[in-house]
Amino acid sequence: MKIRFNEDQEIVSAVKSGLERTGGYCPCRLERNEENKCMCKEFREQIADENFEGYCHCYLYYKEK
């Protein structure tokens, strides 16, 4: 398993700026709770699935098999 940043540097830059603005919470989510702290609970659960390959909700990270 390998987790990497999105290859699109514009997306990475925009999401990182959003993370700075929100104090580390996913800028794509309205609620500010521990489940939405980057790396969010949703993506942690997805990467725990050995069959999952794809992006996190905000497209910052990509999990390869």
How far apart (Å, rounded) are the C-alpha atoms in residues 62 and 65?
10
**The model's pTM:** 0.90
Mean pLDDT of 45-55: 96
Q: Is the pLDDT of residue 1 over 90?
A: no
Whole-number pLDDT of residue 64:
95
Residue 5, token pair as written in the block: 């940043």
pLDDT tier for residue 17 given thresholds of 50, 70 and 90 = very high
User: In whole angstroms, what is the distance from residue 31 CA to residue 34 CA?
Assistant: 9
Q: For tokens 């999401």, what's the residue?
A: 15
Please check the confidence at residue 65 and state whether its pLDDT lies above 90.
no
**Residue 45's CB: how many other CB atoms inside 10 A?**
10
Rounded Cα gap, residues 33 and 47, in angstroms: 20
Give me the chain's average pLDDT, please: 96
Residue 24: the pLDDT is: 97
Per domain, the residue ranges of the chain are 2-64
The 10 Å Cβ neighbour count of residue 30 is 7
